[in-house]
Structure 1
């Protein structure tokens, strides 16, 4: 969305002399929470296409940087996301300023626990003393932001199944209503029943994983909650928890639309990797395909917040020895996983797009079954393997990908042609590539502010002689810099890589790696970033700081 924002100027005067002024950015909009239709913004239905977001900024760590978060929002917006959940803590104020400007809706959250602990040193220690002042301060700070559509007062709270859940929930609800009666309180419920005291006090019924059914179960909680609360909007406050490692494909591939990750089921414990066919979830989670089935079956559901938009530091389920999570639609470096295109096909259904997976460079799989999947909003697709049709398929009800599960690998080319309404919609191609021959370097922006805060995200791809990314390349690459700037960090998106983030040298992962460049404060002039790798010609990109 492209919102209109305004500024209110508050002036304090003594006599005729102004002693202070304060500017408050705000927007004007209406919100309707309809139990049967979902969320209406300015009277128009908006399906919530959201992601949950941890506070870290990948290899930069947790200290806030405007450009780093703006880049994340831009990537999510390209996918079709229109909503953000600040799981599970108040965001930096700049988070909301960006959301206001870029037109995202925000589920603004404060507590991850109440009086009962999740870990020994969490907020339960100070809940009695600080829950009221913190909640009031939180709402007062954020309530002028038009992006905020709900106040999150708890996530998977241990009290949700007890009488205390209703008592404490009602206490917190009272504070929310006193501070802002225009936006309802909500919480992420992963075990609470529809008739619980906890659910009764919420203004929006938020279900964590219960809507699509936990794990391989198809037992949805949506009908029970809709029946028990016919006047309240329902959304999936946390959905999916599918796992994957960008560019990694593990065989065989499940024939179903969902599977629990493990050895022999999309997981490789020895390498700490999870298959990017995007079908393998945690024991409580579900693939996107399974989530979509539940949401389409119950059209009163307002939408979802996917766990998570980006991989983040910590919580490396299912491999606890890794450095970062596998949950993200986008990896820690900001590189898109295949899942990005599955959500884009659903959330931007009017965008002509087709995406083939996996890559098609498998010298060790000649003659072996190597399933080919395609993500697209098209209703038909025909796959060609080395010029020969593997069949034209129609997408059936409750199907969100095209699958050719019996393709046997032979070097060459995959090409898909998709159709919508009988007309050609979009195409995609995957080719067998050669050995690494050179590095390709690009910057997300070459003109940056020399203020000591702006950033340029520089990507290096290991490519063959034709310029195609070598999908399993792991060449070691070293970055260097000349001019008024600094290499802040590097990354490759591999959750199992423990190379320290400030290191200028790092292996590529699935053919890609990233360097983040910051100009010096007061910088002006060219900053040349060079990437070098043994046996390959070095390459560089020039940034301009002003």
Structure 2
């Protein structure tokens, strides 16, 4: 919408929501609404990447994919890209599609020769798609088709990459790679030092990768958590809106190759070690440090 001030127009937009939330759920097993920039554990969603491309000053490109037969966009040789809204299994909830995003995913793992549609979100002058180093052509963003660039191609294993250009000069790139089996568990955290105050928390993110370091996002794996030291585990999740597992336990199925645990300090300083393992024997550990709260800190 826009409001008029004198002779000028001020554009505005209403966004729902920044972060996925529980509630307004359904139909089962949908536990809430992931119509957001970030999913339940803080992973940026395709919608988040699209809006980021609107707002960032620096160049950005991003891509995601969907099977052609499941896509709401289909290519017609005479009319170009046409949109047909997907239907909700519950007809009474068809209105919800107005709020949802496209069912695209960050993956380049499909059956051989499967027709795939690629979405590219970009804020550069031009974007060029490459499959295993071979250019599939350049396109320019317009106001048509929700400011999304589309390509359709049969799946071939390897690297799918988009490169963004301004004035013919490369500015940004983003790629998806075909992965193999899980070979390692990568752990990261938003903080490695906690205050021993029975309150402070850290988010430990889990990423399953293959031998080349590519995220294994096409298969789900049971992720097990074991905590030792002066901390407690508040909960686990995988960010998926269809995940209705109990969050207060010591394992969760990965989703798109990811999972997360929330660790809270006790009032005793010391090390907190989280060990993450899969049923195939792979494991990895991360150690957080819980430090005593000083008198000055204690007054917060």
Q: 1:489 to 1:445 in 2, by over 3 A?
A: same
Aligned residues: 251
Q: 1:360 to 1:312 in 2, by over 3 A?
A: closer
2:216 is the counterpart of 1:508: no
- Alignment correspondent of 2:73: none
Aligned partners of 1:360, 1:518: CA distance in 2, in Å?
A: 33
2:13 is the counterpart of 1:304: yes
Q: 1:355 to 1:536 in 2, by over 3 A?
A: farther
RMSD, matched Cα:
2.1
Higher Rg of the two aligned structures: 1
2:61 is the counterpart of 1:354: yes
TM-score by length of 2: 0.78
Spell out, residue by residue over 1:201-244, the C-alpha distance to the aligned partner (whole angstroms, 9 max, x if none).
xxxxxxxxxx4xxxxxxxxxx5xxx5xxx569xxxxxxxxxxxx
Give 1:359-438 correspondences, 5 Å limit.
359-364=106-111, 366-398=112-144, 401-438=147-184
Question: Would you say the 8 A contact 1:381–1:402 is kept in 2?
Answer: no
Spell out, residue by residue over 1:380-436, the C-alpha distance to the aligned partner (whole angstroms, 9 max, x if none).
011111221111112224566452332221111112211113321101121111112
- The structure 2 residue matched to 1:313, chosen from 12, 22, 37, is 22
- Alignment correspondent of 1:31: none
Aligned partners of 1:496, 1:399: CA distance in 2, in Å?
A: 28
The 3-state SS of whatever aligns with 1:539 is: strand
Spell out, residue by residue over 1:227-271, the C-alpha distance to the aligned partner (whole angstroms, 9 max, x if none).
xxx569xxxxxxxxxxxxxxxxxxxxxxxxxxxxxxxxxxxxxxx
Spell out, residue by residue over 1:17-67, the C-alpha distance to the aligned partner (whole angstroms, 9 max, x if none).
xxxxxxxxxxxxxxxxxxxxxxxxxxxxxxxxxxxxxxxxxxxxxxxxxxx
Question: Would you say the 8 A contact 1:341–1:355 is kept in 2?
Answer: yes
Between Structure 1 and Structure 2, the one with more helix by share is 1
- Alignment correspondent of 2:84: none
Aligned partners of 2:28, 2:14: CA distance in 1, in Å?
A: 24
2:45 is the counterpart of 1:337: yes
Aligned partners of 1:488, 1:501: CA distance in 2, in Å?
A: 8
- The structure 1 residue matched to 2:271, chosen from 520, 526, 537, is 526
The 3-state SS of whatever aligns with 2:52 is: helix
Spell out, residue by residue over 1:361-390, the C-alpha distance to the aligned partner (whole angstroms, 9 max, x if none).
3342x2232111222210101111122111
Spell out, residue by residue over 1:274-309, the C-alpha distance to the aligned partner (whole angstroms, 9 max, x if none).
xxxxxxxxxxxxxxxxxxxxxxxxx72442231001
Q: CA deviation at 1:335?
A: 1.3
Question: Would you say the 8 A contact 2:272–2:289 is kept in 1?
Answer: yes
- Alignment correspondent of 2:219: 473
Unaligned 5+ residue runs, structure 1? Answer: 1-210, 212-221, 233-298
Between Structure 1 and Structure 2, the one with more strand by share is 2
The 3-state SS of whatever aligns with 2:21 is: coil
- The structure 1 residue matched to 2:199, chosen from 426, 450, 453, is 453
Q: 1:392 to 1:302 in 2, by over 3 A?
A: closer
- The structure 2 residue matched to 1:464, chosen from 197, 202, 210, is 210
TM-score by length of 1: 0.44
- Alignment correspondent of 2:289: 544
Spell out, residue by residue over 1:172-212, the C-alpha distance to the aligned partner (whole angstroms, 9 max, x if none).
xxxxxxxxxxxxxxxxxxxxxxxxxxxxxxxxxxxxxxx4x
Aligned partners of 1:321, 1:415: CA distance in 2, in Å?
A: 34
- Alignment correspondent of 1:328: 36
Q: 1:442 to 1:338 in 2, by over 3 A?
A: same
Q: 1:433 to 1:500 in 2, by over 3 A?
A: same
Question: Would you say the 8 A contact 1:436–1:473 is kept in 2?
Answer: no
Q: CA deviation at 1:506?
A: 0.8
The 3-state SS of whatever aligns with 1:305 is: coil
